[in-house]
Amino acid sequence: MTPKISQFLAEEKPATPCLVVDVDEVENRYRALQVALPLARIYYAVKANPAEAILTRLVSLGSSFDAASWEEIEMCLNAGADADDISFGNTVKKVGAIKAAYAAGVRLFVFDCEEELNKLAQHAPGSKVYCRLLVDNYGAEWPLSRKFGTTVESARELMLKARDLGLDPYGLSFHVGSQQVETGSYEMAISRVAALVSDLSEAGLDLRMVNLGGGFPIRYREDVPHIDDFGEAISTAMKKHFGNALPEMLIEPGRFIVGAAGVVSAEVVLVSQRGREGGPRWVYLDIGRFGGLAETEGEAIRYAIRTPRDGGQTGAVALAGPTCDGADIMYEKTHYELPLALESGDRVELLGTGAYVSTYCATRFNGFAPLAEHYI
């Protein structure tokens, strides 16, 4: 939690639940990533948090943008981004969205199958395209592997076909999975990409770009490798596999840039044991899985929690949201301890919640309003 957020919460006491994001910290994170990977162009993954204040700041820093939909492209344009600096990075796009993006000047599109490539050839003629490869997501706390990406063999064929269709066969992409904590996870993917680039070069097709995706982790309850270690591992792997013929490098960070810049302020609604001796206390907050903490599904992302009673004696708890839904449980299997003195009405903070929270929030499940947001 940055000093600015602490001060805002102390002075403003905004109604809970709410998300508070320190936009200066977003800038700090962006700059740290630039330092760690100076050769990579940063395409901010808008889906992590598309708030105007964040997009505007990133535009001012010269960031590019990875958009998941036409609507996200519009948000970037409205924030002042150039269409040239936007990648339409969703492998699954409606024809109407491709047309709208193309009409707005977007010329960079991803695909991972022949059907999508044909759509792009027809509705975004001449555009730069890159093919997403399927790679192992080992080490990622929020894996993405099954839904996206194609095989090396198929990518080879499709890139050649892209040329035949009049598109610009620009490069290849992969994604090692979100909140990837293994710095070594990139190398295997890079080696496969390099082999395919070399193979296609022999076939007369010179790709110019590698999109390394995102996945850079932030600290939740446990330390993660420093971003410089990821930068070092990636640079080393790129040099090893591409030698002096380094392609353009793109990265698509979302969580790394905004995650650590945000804090959710919530209220304890109830603490109870419900007659079950020896069981944990159940702590119910006014935010849960359907109020924005969707990444606690399967207890995957484990937020650190601060309470006003910290320092006192603690005991095991299960943590749940405020709805009548039995699935609205954040942590039951993961060991969490909170102060024994914690009680209904206490304000608590969930740290590292700047990414993938505000937009996941349900419109009005159980009647609760969407999460309030403050960008400071």
Q: Which residues in 110-149 contact a copy of itself (CB under 8 A)?
A: 112-116, 119, 134, 137, 142-149
Within residues 24-43, the interface with a copy of itself by CB under 8 A covers: none
Please check whether residue 374 is in contact with residue 354, taking contact to mean a CB–CB distance below 8 angstroms. no
Question: Out of 18, 113, 131, 324, which one is annotated catalytic?
Answer: 324
Please check whether residue 117 is in contact with residue 155, taking contact to mean a CB–CB distance below 8 angstroms. no
Instruction: Report how far residue 136's alpha carbon sits from residue 134's, in angstroms, rounded to the nearest whole number.
Output: 7
Report in angstroms how near the CB of residue 31 gets to a copy of itself at its nearest.
25
Look up 113 and say whether it is catalytic.
no
Residue from 192, 214, 93 nearest 142 by CA: 214
171 binds a copy of itself (CB under 8 A): no
Report in angstroms how near the CB of residue 70 gets to a copy of itself at its nearest.
7
Kindly tell me which residue out of 12, 24, 52, 71 binds a copy of itself, with binding defined by CB under 8 A: 71
CA distances from 117 to 67, 129, 132, 169, 252 (A): 18, 8, 12, 11, 21
56 binds a copy of itself (CB under 8 A): no
155 binds a copy of itself (CB under 8 A): yes
The DSSP symbol for 364 reads S
**Binding letters toward a copy of itself, positions 262-301, x by CB under 8 A:** -----x-xxxxxxxx-----x-x-x---x---x--x----
Give the alpha-carbon dihedral of 148, 149, 154, 157, to 10 degrees.
Answer: 110
Report in angstroms how near the CB of residue 134 gets to a copy of itself at its nearest.
7
47 binds a copy of itself (CB under 8 A): yes
Element (H, E) at 335: strand 329-339
303 binds a copy of itself (CB under 8 A): no
Please check whether residue 193 is in contact with residue 133, taking contact to mean a CB–CB distance below 8 angstroms. yes
Within residues 336-355, the interface with a copy of itself by CB under 8 A covers: 343-345
CB nearer to a copy of itself: pick between 141 and 349: 141
CB nearer to a copy of itself: pick between 20 and 361: 361
Kindly tell me which residue out of 20, 46, 101, 176 binds a copy of itself, with binding defined by CB under 8 A: 46
The DSSP symbol for 126 reads T
Element (H, E) at 192: helix 185-202
Element (H, E) at 158: helix 152-164
CB nearer to a copy of itself: pick between 207 and 237: 207
Active site members: 324
